[in-house]
Amino acid sequence: MLIFYFLMIILISAYDNNTSRIYIHEELSSNTLIFSSISSYNLQWLPSSYLFQTYFYLNQNQSLYTTNQIINREEFCENKFCHCSECLINLNFLQTFSTNNISIRTIQIIIKDINDHSPTFKKTFLQLPIAENLPIDYEIPLESAIDNDYGILSIQNYELYPLINNPFSLIKRSKPILKLKKILDREIKSNYLLKLIAYDGGQPSLSGEQNIEIIVTDVNDNAPIFDQMIYRKSLPENQLIDSIIFKIHANDHDADENARISYSIDDQSNIFHINERTGEIYLKKSLDYEKQRSYSMTIKARDHGIPQLNNYATLIIDVTDVNDHVPNVLLTENSSNRIYQYGIKQAADMNVINTSGVHQRDFGYSEKVERYLTHLNSRVTGIDKDEGVYGSSDISSDHVQQLTIRPPSISSIHSSQQAYQDSLKRFEQLYSIVEHHQKTKLHTSAFSSDSLIV
């Protein structure tokens, strides 16, 4: 047995040139003739080539044919039947010339590639989140396409679309790379839809594509913005406690937590409260026009990004007066000296006023006990500087703080007797108006000790 193997090795060496090389394309049809009449002598498959009997067979004429099993070069490469760079397989046969004369006959088959595969991507759709503050020339490596063909028939080129309105360019290397060429701003454009196409070198060329969505992720680069920098609201002094008096709103152009806003209020009076989530402002304590007529406070809006950004607005609350203090009225007759003292509100709209010592609660301040005259539309008909003030003011108005009416003394009228009579007549008319108003509008229970009797 050892002699037989030794002889065989010698014959192999001796017949080293007993080799033929054949080039074929993959995926040949079944029963395709590969090699005609390999030998006129008997050929037998050697065990080293049994594997390939699935793909090739010898007929009675010692000719080599393909079977109905498809020869796929990519499978041969993957299963390591051959090298991928050159898919060469050896079919080894035992050739018997005589009992003592045998040799090894080798058929080398080089399987040539055909362009039977298009480029493909592992993912046909790819989402790439990219921060909006990436610097120019930042590079983003992409996944290469796959083409099971080899050499020139494999992937040769990539193209990126669209060509315009695209902040990225394509660097064509062994792997495609996106390169940022323009600054991103999520608040202007939050995503880009791109298409990457891979081409092989076949004729015609085959291609495969991948859709890419660039999602521009937010960076907290926008502070909250109020609808107004200064808000102003008027409230009556009898506004209900715990009622919603105003709603502040701010907007943040960022997204998610970077755009979530919380509100706070800097109120030294501790009268107002803000809902940090909705921006609704509530009244916590009662207002009093006579104590404070206006409130100014700072509203803060902050987002929840990193770093946290803030903005500020001012809210001014103007308190408006409500007739919540009862006037002091005393209508008396003492001989011919009749006096009417009437306390109402707001000197700003009066025609005639005389401060005669009544506590001025709804006027908001106190004056010395002194007499003075204010008139806005020159409807005053007479002045008695010593005895008091009288005139043609509308006594029914709720806009006079204090009015004292006395009949004029003849000594105070420095004109004719007729002028004094005219003044007295006007006083009587005015007194009648006051008396009528007191009887129809006011109640005697409203009299107080603050009333002045002359």
Both 338 and 233 in a single domain? no
Both 189 and 248 in a single domain? no
**pLDDT over 90, % of the chain:** 52
| Per-residue model confidence (pLDDT) at position 67 | 92
Candidates 209, 180, 162, 190; CA nearest to 253 is 190
Is residue 21 in some structural domain? yes
Placement of tokens 């108005």 in the chain: 397
CATH of the domain at 247: 2.60.40.60
Candidates 401, 408, 396; CA nearest to 374 is 401
Is residue 117 in some structural domain? no
Q: How far is residue 426 from each of residues 375, 393, 434, measured CA to CA in Å?
A: 18, 12, 13
395-430 confidence digits (pLDDT tens): 344 443 344 445 555 454 455 556 556 655 655 655
Three-state SS across 137-202? CCEEECCCCECCCCHHHCEEEEEEECCCCCCEEEEECCCEEEEECCCCCCCCCCEEEEEEEEEECC
Both 185 and 104 in a single domain? no
Both 311 and 383 in a single domain? no
281-311 confidence digits (pLDDT tens): 999 999 999 899 999 999 999 999 989 999 9
| End position of a domain, from candidates 217, 244, 267 | 217
Both 164 and 68 in a single domain? no
Judge whether residue 6 has pLDDT over 60: no
| End position of a domain, from candidates 320, 351, 379 | 320
| Per-residue model confidence (pLDDT) at position 301 | 96
| Per-residue model confidence (pLDDT) at position 324 | 63
Is residue 120 in some structural domain? no
Both 335 and 314 in a single domain? no
| Per-residue model confidence (pLDDT) at position 416 | 55
Count of domains observed in the chain: 4
48-87 confidence digits (pLDDT tens): 999 999 999 999 888 999 999 999 998 998 899 998 888 9
Both 250 and 207 in a single domain? no
Give the separation between CA 422 and CA 413, rounded to whole angstroms: 10
Judge whether residue 229 has pLDDT over 80: yes
368-396 confidence digits (pLDDT tens): 222 333 332 333 333 333 334 344 334 34
The pTM (predicted TM-score) of the whole model is 0.54
Lowest mean pLDDT, pick from 137-141, 191-195, 321-325, 356-360: 356-360
| Per-residue model confidence (pLDDT) at position 423 | 58
| End position of a domain, from candidates 73, 90, 112 | 112
Judge whether residue 179 has pLDDT over 60: yes
Q: Which domain holds residue 238?
A: 225-320
